[in-house]
Structure 1
Amino acid sequence: MFPEGRGVRCGRSRAPPDRGRATPPRRNTLHPPTPITYAEVVVDGLVRAWVDGWVLSRGAAPPVVEPWGRTIDMGMAQHVTRHVLSATGDQVEETTVRKVADAVTGTGVWLKVFAEPSRVTPWLGEGWWVDPEPGCLMSTRLGTHGSPAATPLPVPDGYRLRTWSSGGVTRVMIAAPDGSFAARGQIAPTGTTAVVDQMETSPDHRRRGLGTLVMHTLTRSALARGAEIGVLGGTPDGRALYESLGWRVEAPLTSARSTGRS
């Protein structure tokens, strides 16, 4: 359980739990009773929330529960299936990673492990490509940083913002003055948590506040649907923006794709 103001930086493992405190019984943190406090959502609950929100956001098959985490079928040539391990940081075990990785023989299968690539890569063996830019699992208490969530942010002159919802997912697009793509993002609420996904800003339109505008608009939508905690899988490019908006790193994230065995 993470107290207020604490998190895990990319590249560093989580601090060990306070052995002097009694460990509360495990409970369902994905749909806890309201009201909740931020510290009540422990990291393993964030992993489950991220999986459920990602599945909704991408239109993937319902996750299959495994002893070590979740398996999700995506059905694309370069993204057939993904295996997400539920353990994080120091709790990630070499034997588990090797067991899951060794069972994969085909191409296009992804493995998501919440640990540093320097630890995970040697465990994967032959036939795996590891993303050289490690990500992070990040979270925030929605609507508590920066401008009040109830107040829309202004759209920069000449830009056009469009918001729409379909299948439980809200999407935001910003078009440039000439009509070309400028920025986008989407959010998938699942109960009291909501997963931010597909955040992107065109290189030609960065440093103009568009990413902040997209995130703020998504946050307002999720709050209106009862979400309280935001979760996302951050990239190195996006991490600075998210941290400036009050998000914090909870665990490192290694992404690996099966390329097949020779």
Structure 2
Amino acid sequence: MAKIEPELIRRWLDGWTVARSLPEAEPVEPAGDGLRSKCDQPGREVEVFALCADERPESLARLAAGVAVARQTTWLTVPTLRPGTVEAVLAAAGLELLRRSEWFMTTDLTEHPRHAPGAPYEREVRTEGPVTSVSLRGPTGEVAARGAVAVVGADAIADRIETDAAHRRRGLGRAVMSTLAETAVSQGARTGLLIASEEGRRLYSSLGWHHEADVLIARGPVASSTR
């Protein structure tokens, strides 16, 4: 795609906050350059999401400047097709670059591949409201892999997909994603959205997910994050 649409970012964020039981994100005023979410995690009290970093670079500069003087440790997450330009803006604002290799990805869930976990793993599925959690348990009951999905309208936002190191390379990640996709479709979802780590994007690409934008994450203010 020629650009990352702000509405796509909003849709992902709507589902991400639901998946993590966080308050609805609020606009960053006065220009509405991004959205702010209260995370209340140590070292990540607040997270700001840039909506139009590529089309309006000045909006990213404003967000970065605000994060640089924030009272709480704040992450700035930037979906972009111009990572080099974004990295320069973040550096100029004095922010600490945390991650430069995540991907914003989407897929048509109705065409998602199906994979079942092999023996001896058993699947556990729990749905509470719009959020479904999937766990694959090993022979002694240990959680070998897990993940969650939040369904908001026709969108399903996958989150916290993990496979324990002792159980990797056994297709468990594929089985978790398959179950999440199947469950989301049964609840009316059609489009899958997620932000993938460097490790996870290989899995998602193999399942037909598409790269829409790079995602850079920075933190500020630097002085408070390093005390």
TM range (shorter): 0.7 to 0.9
Q: Does the 8 A contact of 1:92 with 1:114 survive in 2? A: no
In the alignment, is the contact (CA less than 8 A) between 1:110 and 1:257 conserved in 2?
Answer: yes
Which residue of structure 2 lines up, in the alignment, with residue 6 of structure 1?
none
In the TM superposition, what is the alpha-carbon distance from 1:61 to its structure 2 partner? 1.1
Partner of 1:229: 191
Summarize the alignment of residues 44-55 of structure 1 with structure 2, pairs less than 5 Å apart: 44-55=6-17
The CA deviation at 1:215 is: 0.4
- 2:58 counterpart of 1:91: no
2:40 alignment partner in structure 1: 75
Q: 1:167 to 1:145 in 2, by over 3 A?
A: closer
Report if aligned partners of 1:131, 1:255 keep a CA contact under 8 Å in 2: yes
Per residue, is there more helix in 1 or in 2? Answer: 2
Partner of 2:87: 121
Match in the other structure for 2:64: 101
Aligned-partner Cα distance in 1 for 2:42–2:197: 23
What TM-score, normalized to structure 1? 0.76
Residue number among 135, 139, 142 corresponding to 2:109 in the alignment: 142
**1:133 and 1:236 in contact (8 A); partners too:** no
Alpha-carbon spacing, 1:176–1:133, altered in 2? closer, same or farther (3 Å): farther
3-state SS in 1 of match to 2:199: helix
| Equivalent pair of 2:112/2:181 in contact (CA under 8 Å) | no
Q: Secondary structure at the match of 2:222?
A: coil
Q: What's the counterpart of residue 255 of structure 1?
A: 217
* 1:73-222 paired onto structure 2 within 5 Å: 73-87=38-52, 90-93=54-57, 95-104=58-67, 105=69, 106-115=71-80, 116-124=82-90, 125=92, 127-147=94-114, 153-222=115-184
Among all aligned residue pairs of Structure 1 and Structure 2, give the percentage whose two residues are the same amino acid.
Answer: 32
Q: C-alpha distance in 2, partners of 1:92/1:246?
A: 31
Pairing 1:49-64 to 2, within 5 Å after superposition:
49-64=11-26
Where structure 1 has 5 or more consecutive residues not aligned to the other structure, the ranges are 3-14, 17-41, 148-152
Moved over 4 A (4+): none
User: 2:88 is aligned with what amino acid?
Assistant: P
Deviation at residue 195 of structure 1 after TM alignment: 0.4
How many residue pairs get matched?
217
Contact 2:33 2:60 in 1 (8 A): no
Distance 1:154 1:260, change over 3 A: closer
- Specify whether residues 173 and 221 from structure 1 end up closer, same or farther in structure 2 by C-alpha distance, changes over 3 A only: same
- Tell me how far 1:51 sits from its aligned partner: 0.6
Greater per-residue strand proportion:
2
Give 1:118 deviation, angstroms: 2.8
Q: Which residue of 2 aligns with 1:36?
A: none
TM-score (norm 2): 0.87
